[in-house]
Structure 1
């Protein structure tokens, strides 16, 4: 058990990993460098393994350090959420609901849906967090969130599942592209043209690779990006095309003069779902939020 791990130590450890230098981390956190070194050394002694290693490009975390870094960031995010939720109660909020959602859901209409709910329910507070679909499932399973929203293409047999919005995968391209005037395109027509992938290894990437394999084809991306917004920027800059969720992408079309041509394949139509834990009574606020989201989705 590491008795020397506290919030201050976690912040200092994150700073050292991000700066790659103890002196710079100390300056950033307004503390003397020797105190930073002592705190980290105390944790290393407690756990019995090194957390940091000095390389040619500065200090980097070891394998154990990577684990601590990941967990430290999660702990600080949880502390920030706790502080925000408690502040809400001081402002008249009587209940709070934590929501985690996949990036495509966040990029879509979730913000507008939550905004309409908060306007109608001033006594309820909501905290939201963007996670990958596996992380959404994990957060709800472990009780870190009351509500999860994600693409319903994973095993959700251990959850209460309710429908949310639908989406359609589209080919995102510039207006002058040869396919820009098409009403729809088949995936097999554009496999060789796809050059940008969002969240490599994620659910969308996995599905596209699976469908390409089914067609005895191979996807070969030139660029990998972490978010829908970055993909939009790359497509708008003429760096290639990408398959993206229509609901999230349309919010960028006017701003960046892009065209979104729906894929005609049946699998390109996606259903997002709302998940909660089974055998755990939902609070009234949670039930009200879910009913509101379903109502908004039904009017899509």
Structure 2
């Protein structure tokens, strides 16, 4: 037995109005067609649902019970439609995001917060990766959107500008460089460093610059976060190179931040997608949100 949602809706309306004629006028359906649907509904359920008199129509005990259940069913069906419309409009859904350590510590958190305030029914799955892995991950559909430090890559992706950041040198207040306003990387290489883990774009930049300067990057401590890097510098383990935004966030009282006098200290951050026109509605809305301040 199949119950027709239209028949249930007409049944509820007739019970509410008490007449078929008023429902027929409101729904633009012939009275005979409504009457036939009600009779078919009673036949299908094998019980009398309505009492018809010259004064109107009233529900039987079974009809009252069906009215309650039918309202619930019709509400559920409307909720299905509403929910699916929210997905198609981008107001609900999942966005998978790959970000590098620099952006997840600086630019991304406030953008996520403002986005979720506007779209509270959207879920964001955020995963931190190194920049090269981000381009490869987006190309392989492991994520919808990637945010990374611009670098040469071979991934089949579309890349769009996002932000720029500046690299700084963090030193302890009693360090020999602490009285300087700026320093070249060659000068910084004369001292012990605290470095990020292997695989990060910053680590690669530093190793490349050290090779070009004819020096080695000296370090005894390797960390996985900028928080740990800053605390190691504060304790006097070494000096560190990090984005200006990170230095502002942690702003440790026993440290100083110096400008890094190198062209490569100014870095471009980018957003990548496989194809912009292939993004889901919710992913496209989040992409536009990321790009809004560019």
What TM-score does the superposition give when structure 1 sets the normalisation length?
Answer: 0.63
Q: Over residues 257-296 of structure 1, what are the superposed CA-to-partner deviations in whole Å (9 max), with x where a residue is unaligned?
A: 4322121211111111110003761122222212211223
CA contact 2:170–2:241 (8 Å) conserved in 1: yes
Residue 288 of structure 1 aligns to a residue whose secondary structure is helix
Query: Among 121, 124, 127, which residue is 2:122 paired with?
Result: 124
Q: CA deviation at 1:171?
A: 0.7
Unaligned stretches of 5+ residues in structure 2: 1-86
Match of 1:213 in 2: 211
Output aligned runs, 1:1-300, within 5 Å. 94-155=92-153, 158-254=156-252, 257-278=254-275, 281-296=278-293, 298=294
1:154 Cα deviation after fit: 2.8
Q: Is the 8 A contact 1:102 1:136 kept in 2?
A: yes
CA RMSD of the aligned region, Å?
2.2
Query: Following the alignment from structure 2 to structure 1, what is the Cα–Cα distance between the partners of residues 270 and 256?
Result: 27
Separation of aligned partners in 1, 2:160 and 2:199: 26
**What are the ranges of 5 or more consecutive residues in structure 1 without an aligned counterpart?**
1-88
In the superposition, the TM-score normalised over structure 2's length comes to 0.65
Equivalenced residue count is 206
